[in-house]
Each structure stands twice: as C-alpha cells, then as structure tokens.
Structure 1
Amino acid sequence: MRHVDDPSTVVMILESSPNNLDLRQGTDAQSERVGGLIFDALVKKDEHYELQPWLAASWDQPDALTWVFHLRDGVRFHDGRPLEAPDVAYTIESLIDGSLVTAKSGSFATVDRAEAKDRLTVVVHMRRPDAGLLFNVSDGLFGVVPRGSGRDLGLRPIGSGPFKFVSAVQDKEVILERNQHYWSISPEVPADARRIERVRFEVVPDAITSALELKKGSADLASNVVTLDMVHTLESAANLQVESGVGSPVVYVTFNVTDPLLKDKRVRQAVACAIDRQAIVDAIWRGQARLADTLLPTGHWAAASDAELEQYPNDVGRAQRLLDEAGFPVGKGGVRLRLTLKTSTDETTRLMAAVLQQQLRAAGIRLEIRSAEFGTFYADVTKGAFQIYALRWIGSNEDPDIFRYAYGSGSFPPKGGNRGRYSNPNVDALLADAAGSTDRTVRKADYVEVQKILSEELPGIPLWYPNNEVIHTRRVQGVVARGAGSFDFLRDAWVVR
C-alpha cells in the first residue's frame, strides 16, 4: 500500500518478480523493464526502432571491425562515481569473458574486446563484422555497470538511470526512488502536480486481484497485466484511465524440434493449421491485437511481407492430412497424438492455452496444459524440458538479430534464446552474411530469406502482436504508452496534487 502521507509515491503492479535486475543477466520482461529504469544504455530506440544517441553522444566505424563510442561527460552512477569509458568497457568485457553465465553473452559473441581509449572514448574490436552490435547496447537490453561489479550486482543494483534501487523482496515488491541528479532532464510538470519520487512495484500474480487493487486505488498503474476483458470493465471506473497503443511485443509458441513427436516439420505445420488465431484474438484480446507472421514488429524495415511467407490459415482438413503424411493416423477416440504445452500462470496465457486445447482437438491432437509460476516455467524452458511453450518476445524482437538469438545454432541456452534447439546451416549462413554487411539492402534480402525458411520449417509460430495497454489512476498523469511496453513513462509522468 502507498503511505497516505507520501502522495508522490506510486504503486505499479507486476505479474511476477524480476529474475535479475542486473541487465547483463536479466532476460525476462520484468527485469528488462524495471532494470531499464535503473541503468542507462549506450543508445536508445525511438518509436520507429531506429537507434538514437543516449550515453553515447555519438559513434563511428572507422572500419568494419571497429566501433568507437564517444560518451557524454558529467554522467554519474547512483553512488556518485563518474560513469566513464572504463565502466562501459568493463560492462562489455564481463559479457564475453565468462565471468557471467548469461544468455546475453551470445549477443556479444562477435566482440573480441572492448577498451577505454581515454576517459570518454570506448573502442570495441570485433572478431567479425556485426551490424547488430548497436541494437544489443540499446535500452532494456543493456545497462552500463560500475567497473568491477560482480555477478551479484542484481541484488543491489547501482546504475546511472532515472531511478535508484532502494529494496526488493522476492515475490513481493521492488522499490525505486527518483535519481535527483539524473543527467537527462524531464519536461516540466503542470503547476498543480509533482514528479513521481518513488515507485513501489508490487508483485500480484493474479489478474483479478490486480484489477481490484486498481479499482480500489491501492495501486496506481498496471502495464499489460490484466486481461482485455478486465481492461474493458475497468475503463468505466471513474478513478481510472486506459492508454492504448500499437505494441511491438509478439506472442509466440516454440516447438522442441529434438522431440520425437515434433522433429517432423509436418507435425509442426499441422499444429499451425489447427490454430484459429483470429478467433483467439477476437475472444481473448477483444480484437486488441494484430496477427503476426514474423517475429519483427509491423512496419519494420527487415520484415518479410505476407506474400513472401508460407501461410497457415485455420484448416483442420489440411492439419489432418499433414498428420497422416507424418505417420499419425486416427487412433482410439479420434486421437492422433498427445502433446504438452507449458505456460506461465499469467491469466491471458492460460486462457489462450485453454482455447488452443479445444482447437487442436478437432485435428486429433490432445494438448495437455502445464502451467507453473514464471520462475519454474522459465527454468524448464531454458533447460529444454518442454515439447511446446508459449511466451512473448519483448524488445529484443525490434531488431532482426532476434533471428540469430532465437534460431541460430550458436544460440542454444545458456548462450542465447534458441530453446527449441533448432539448427539449420542455411539460416546460420544467411544470418552471418546479414550481420557482416553494412548495406541495408543486402541485410534485408538475407533476413527475408531467413523468414521464408522459418515460415516453412516452423520451429515456432508467431501468433499476434497485442496492443500496449496501460491502466492508471487519474491522480497519475502524463502516461504515454511505449511500443515495446517499457516503463519509460514513469520518468516523465506526474502526480496531481
């Protein structure tokens, strides 16, 4: 609860605890969103997913294997230490020298070394050209840590971002307070308002409880937490407002392609044909989502067009024919095969899983659902202990390097997010060629070819892009929903006096 005598504190609901607030290690959405307030990146994505200066005031590439970053002067960490080139170099080195076991090390596998040339100049030397480096040092994915920070930094993180870490209790709360000495000035607030000075992120795994807390006013904010049905209901509450916008995160399912039942692509294609995605969007998302054919957001420069990709409109007959061809004839009770889908306990995901179970039954696929709290679910997914799982890519799918991270042969956990263990030498070669080119036309052609292969082999199914929905009490204003669903709006929002 918010203290009555502290009106400049806001309470924001999270559906689960961040796994690790050190952005070098945290890869789940909560870690990247809360960690993104504590740490600063070298560059920042704008609303078109183009990269703009941030801690790095500018950068240049004297040759294909060298990046030079020129840092802003006067930036300080929360403990007062100046943020300088040795800190940036140390942060990058710690991701590649084996001192951290992190999925993010795969994103820096092309880096040979990083060095501080002088107080404000960082030189990154590459093993091979990689145009994706810039995205991998952007907000939400990367945060500069003080030199010498160990693997336990996530317990008491020290960054240079707009908010400072105060405390955290697992499965209960995270408390941040405003960094009064932040280098980037926020716009002025209205005369009858005050800045948000403190944020208490309250962990509420249950969507109904979250909705009740918002309605009562014991919580002020929730971003993409409650179901669309509940958003619709809460819109009519006198004390609440809803900000809605097009979102970039993509909901997807991944297949374990090493599983005996799923190694044949025809089985994976049959699952895709058995799913009626539009029916799920209409029923669960109330139309507040757009169908996806690729992991990249709509309008992205590297996205393939629908016409270039294999399509799987809902077609139970086609699903049954594919299963026949793959050697799964109709058995007792009309069952052809049994599969298990793992999900988190997130309410919308569980609703989606229940509908998928019904839809797949028509094609003779019996789908068992196993839901677990996020930490357990995520551990299983990383270990490869699943047949199918459902999740969403947030932020990382705004760059085409997502295809290397999600489907490259070098990205099996813990070195990346290829949890289904998909491997294709053609995909690897195309990704290497794209990363090695500075010509966007060449890169786009390579990435389109990758998307064509993935749409045919189907190691995973992109499902839809949900709209970005932020619910807030009317005492909190200046809330602007961001495409990636980040919590950046907390920096500039205000509390009405």
Structure 2
Amino acid sequence: MTPSLTQILLSGAAVAMLATPVLADKASDTLNVAFSLEPEPLDTYKIAGREGLILARHVYDGLLYKDMDSGTFKGLLAESWSQPDPLTLEFKLRRDVTFHNGAAFTADDVVDTLNTVIKPDYGTRYAISVDWIARVEKVDDYTVRIHMAKPFAGAFEMLAGSLPIYPHAYFDAVGSAGMAKAPVGTGPYRLVSQEPGVKYVLERWDGISPESPKAGAQIKTIVVRTMPELNTQYAELMSGKLDWMWRIPPDQADRLASRVQIVSAPIMRISFLNLAPVAASGDTPLKDLRVRQAVAHAIDRDAITRAFAGGASEVLKAFCNPAQFGCTDAVTQYAYDPDKAKALLAEAGYKDGLSLPMTFAAMPRPVAEAIAADLAKVGITVQLDELQYAAGVSKWRERQAPAFFSNWGSYGVGDVAFLLSNFFGGGADDLVQDAELSGWLHEADTATDPELRKADYAKALSRIADEAWVVPMYSFNVNYGLSKDLSFRPYPDEFARFWQSSWK
C-alpha cells in the first residue's frame, strides 16, 4: 500500500526526533516518558511487563472498560451486553469504530481475535485471561456471543483489560510478530515509530469513536524512552527533558520533591507473611493457632510500614487490598502486643521460645530483618533464607518453608478473586486445604451476583484471620515524578492512562 502524505511526514518527523535531543516542551504538545525496563513487543497477549502493557492499552481496545472510580464496567468496543444463560455473554458492538489502518470494526474482528488467542499453540502469556472462553460466535455483523468454558466471575475484568481486539484481516496476514512490529488498534493513540529497547513514538488518534470512554485525549504526542539508569531519569526530569517517570525509591522521592511534582499512589500489590500449619518434616509449632497468633501480635507492622514502605502504603487489616472488590477489614485484628505474644507462646508450651525458619522472596532483606528482630523480642529466633521468587514458592509448596514472606499483585486486578483462591482455593499454594473455605471461594469466584460474592469473600477472609494463617503486612505504593506542567492521575492497577493527562 502506498504511504499517504501524512504517513511520510510522520516518518520524517520520527527520524528527526532520533537525531535531536528530546525536550519536554508543553508548547510542542509532546509528553516525554521514561521507563527503566524495556517494553515488550506490543502483542498484548504475549506481554508480562507493565511497561509494554501500558503502551498496548493506548493502542488497543477491548470490548469493555473498567471505571476505576466507580468500579463499574462500561462499553468500549461493545455498546451493550447481556447474559442469556450462565455460560453465555452476548455483546452488541459499536458501529462507528475504525482501526488505525482505516479498516471498519465488526464482529469478525472479535471472533477472529479471541478464537485465535484462546488456542494453546498461540502462546498467550497468562492462561487465566483466556482459559474461561470455550469459543466465540458471530451472530451478525455487530453481535457476538462468548461461550464460556466455565463460570468465571473475573470474565469482565479480563474483557476490560487483557483481551484487546485486533483487525482480523491484518492479524491473519501478519500474526503475532506482525502485530508486535506494527501494531494496529482502535485506541486513543497509534504507534508511529519504534526502536525496540530505545524509543516509541505515539500520536493521538483523532478517529476514535466519540462515545469511547477513552475519547478526549488532549496531548498530541507521547515519546517513551527506555532509560535503565534512574540517575539519568532524575537528571532529565529536573532539567526539563522529561515529563514522567515512576517507581522512584522513597529517599529519592523526598530529595526530588522540591524540584518536581512527586505523587505517591497505592497499588494492588500487597506484602504478607504466610504461616504453614503443616510441614514436610512432620511436626511444626505453627500447627498451634496460639503460636500463629503470637507471631501476628509480635510484629510491629505500623513501624515497618512507615520505615520501609512510606508514601501511600497502608498497614493491611485483612489478607486483601482495600482497593479490591470483596475486600473487608471486618475481621479479627492482631494489634502489636509483644506481651500478649509472649503469653500465647507460654500457653502453647513455648515459654522459653522457639526457632522459626523464614523464607523470603521478592522482598527487601531489611524488611525481613525487621520482622525477625520483632519476633526475637518475644522469644522466636528466626533463621532467614533469601531465595528467588520461583525457588521460594517451590519451597513453600514442598512444605519446607514454615514461614514465607513475599508479595502478590493480583495481576493488577481489583478483585480478590485473583488473590484468595491462589492461596486458599485448594491449589498448590494452599497448605491449609480447608474444604469449607475453598468452597466459599469457588462459589464467589464463579457467581454473577456481586452481593453473594461479597458475602462469601467476607466469610473466607474472616476464617483466614481467625486462624491466623497469614499475617497481612502492607500495601505497596508507587512514587511518580512529574514535570510541574503535567496533570496526571495514577490508579491502583499501575496502568498509566496518558489519554486522561493534560498540561496545566
């Protein structure tokens, strides 16, 4: 296809940008963004890292959109939907949507995309995003039905974030590799040039449907660069060459606060200490509820959160993130109380203390050491064992890690379905194997009634707290560094929505 004059001009502009320094310039309407990690190739179904997924959400759209303020779902490529039966979802599609390459959006795009990516040989990175779909059926040009392989309460979450729709003719011609090399979507921005690992240039797509929840982007151009060195990012942010960066350590955020905007925002990820009531060796002190309760009372979670997390992080009152659907703090609480911890240990027959191996993974050693120091004050001597995450999980599953300190991000999804069942739903990470508890979770994970789901999750969270199988620690936060000209709002799912940003 012969390139248009606009495409030629854009290509020339992209080359010129490579040859000249990038300057953060409100006047030129260009937002300059930096990531420390390189975004992965932009076939959303193959991406694991947040960086690539952020870019992909600007280029692509799915059927639904989640309003993070209300927690409700809106139509994106779909204008309405219904559920004729428990295993069928029917969607009426928008008729005014055009892909970035000029192709009209129809049911064929939905059917072809989803029926392709659900096949095992496609290699979709996260099976949880597609394994609930049996097949997708075209009813007419603007109506599709998704036939579910199983009941799945997280279906709308997946449709709103993880299942973008590709133009079927182009997708069939170029496949996953072609989509990654030259993405074509219906989102608020289109990719006009990329140097993988170096720079990506996106331009506002003015052909977006005016009814889209993503419509109304104000900034014309977004330039995203990969800059592994944080010090380089700090220097460019302070000198005005950069408008946006993230994941700034707390000490550096404090240092930069007088020069740039620093925004600290909570995210879905939480940290926690799992306590196994069973062990491969046979006996374990943690089989006694009083010992588990003593561990919970011995840890000064408030002090640890202030010292090591700071910002928008909060001490957790239950084994869930308050931003998630189904989370409740109306459960048994374990306040910091060393004297009570000592009394519980004595009551359990450990007046002279006990030894407790603690594995930690994907958490800073100073935090693990702080927990160990608190436990030592009540007579629990901790042997710390630092491992890579996969090795730590394996040791936990093999019942060789009585205490396992780590974190979980729930795939960035604001629903406890993506947290609780992983650890208490009867799977490999569930060392408790409480049939009633896993039954509540299964019912909640598959139900469509939100009130029923909330009730079941509340029962599950209460059981977990009553039995002290987990010591919830704190929610994570992200520090963003922004130019003083930029208006940007972060969300707990860690997806930067630059289409909502504007200049002050």
Q: TM-score range by the shorter chain?
A: 0.7 to 0.9
Contact preservation (8 Å) 1:248, 1:398: no
- What letter matches 1:220 in structure 2? D
In the TM superposition, what is the alpha-carbon distance from 1:10 to its structure 2 partner?
Answer: 3.7
Percent identity, aligned pairs only, is 23
3-state SS of 1:290 partner: coil
Q: Does residue 440 of structure 1 match 2:450?
A: yes
TM score, norm. by length of structure 1: 0.76
Higher mean C-alpha displacement, 50-59 vs 429-438: 429-438
Distance in 1, matches of 2:209 and 2:307, equals 43
Contact preservation (8 Å) 1:255, 1:268: no
- What letter matches 1:276 in structure 2? D
Match of 2:326 in 1: 302
* Coordinate RMSD, CA, aligned: 4.0
The one of 174, 181, 188 equivalent to 1:162 is 188
Deviations along 1:101-125, one digit per CA (max 9) or x if unpaired, are: 5563235444332222223222012
Match of 1:221 in 2: 244
Match of 1:454 in 2: 464
Distance in 2, matches of 1:461 and 1:86, equals 49
Match of 1:112 in 2: 134
Distance in 2, matches of 1:198 and 1:367, equals 49
In the TM superposition, what is the alpha-carbon distance from 1:241 to its structure 2 partner?
Answer: 1.6
Match of 1:398 in 2: 414
Distance in 2, matches of 1:326 and 1:143, equals 54
Stretches of structure 2 that go unaligned for 5 or more consecutive residues are 1-16
Distance in 2, matches of 1:101 and 1:457, equals 39
3-state SS of 1:401 partner: helix
Kindly tell me: are residues 11 and 301 of structure 1, through their superposed partners in 2, closer, same or farther at Cα, counting changes over 3 Å? closer
The one of 474, 499, 504 equivalent to 1:491 is 499
Q: Does residue 337 of structure 1 match 2:337?
A: no
Give the number of the structure whose alpha-carbon radius of gyration is greater: 2
Deviations along 1:457-493, one digit per CA (max 9) or x if unpaired, are: 5565443234554321124x232223433210x1243
- What letter matches 2:384 in structure 1? E
Distance in 1, matches of 2:105 and 2:347, equals 61
Match of 2:164 in 1: 143
Match of 1:192 in 2: none
Contact preservation (8 Å) 1:222, 1:472: yes
The one of 306, 309, 321 equivalent to 1:282 is 306
- Corresponding pairs, count: 461
Q: Does residue 43 of structure 1 match 2:53?
A: no
In the TM superposition, what is the alpha-carbon distance from 1:67 to its structure 2 partner?
Answer: 0.7
Match of 2:377 in 1: 362
Contact preservation (8 Å) 1:60, 1:68: yes
Contact preservation (8 Å) 1:252, 1:461: no
- What letter matches 1:44 in structure 2? Y
TM score, norm. by length of structure 2: 0.75
Contact preservation (8 Å) 1:243, 1:470: yes
Kindly tell me: are residues 173 and 249 of structure 1, through their superposed partners in 2, closer, same or farther at Cα, counting changes over 3 Å? farther
Contact preservation (8 Å) 1:250, 1:462: no
Relative to total residues, which structure has the larger helix share, 1 or 2? 2
- What letter matches 1:55 in structure 2? L
Distance in 2, matches of 1:465 and 1:136, equals 23
Stretches of structure 1 that go unaligned for 5 or more consecutive residues are 190-194, 372-376, 413-418
Kindly tell me: are residues 70 and 283 of structure 1, through their superposed partners in 2, closer, same or farther at Cα, counting changes over 3 Å? same
3-state SS of 1:336 partner: strand
Contact preservation (8 Å) 1:22, 1:157: no
Contact preservation (8 Å) 1:69, 1:123: yes
1:115-194 equivalences under 5 Å are: 115-139=137-161, 141-147=162-168, 148=172, 155-156=180-181, 158=183, 159-165=185-191, 166-167=193-194, 169=196, 172-173=197-198, 175-184=200-209, 186-187=215-216, 189=218
Q: Does residue 4 of structure 1 match 2:21?
A: yes
Match of 1:97 in 2: 119
Contact preservation (8 Å) 2:249, 2:479: no
In the TM superposition, what is the alpha-carbon distance from 1:138 to its structure 2 partner?
Answer: 1.4
Contact preservation (8 Å) 1:29, 1:394: no
Distance in 1, matches of 2:476 and 2:94, equals 36
Kindly tell me: are residues 244 and 253 of structure 1, through their superposed partners in 2, closer, same or farther at Cα, counting changes over 3 Å? closer
- What letter matches 1:493 in structure 2? S
3-state SS of 2:83 partner: strand
The one of 453, 466, 487 equivalent to 1:478 is 487
Kindly tell me: are residues 461 and 481 of structure 1, through their superposed partners in 2, closer, same or farther at Cα, counting changes over 3 Å? same
Distance in 1, matches of 2:32 and 2:145, equals 41
Q: Does residue 241 of structure 1 match 2:266?
A: no
Distance in 1, matches of 2:180 and 2:389, equals 19
Distance in 2, matches of 1:109 and 1:301, equals 22
Distance in 2, matches of 1:481 and 1:173, equals 24
3-state SS of 2:271 partner: strand
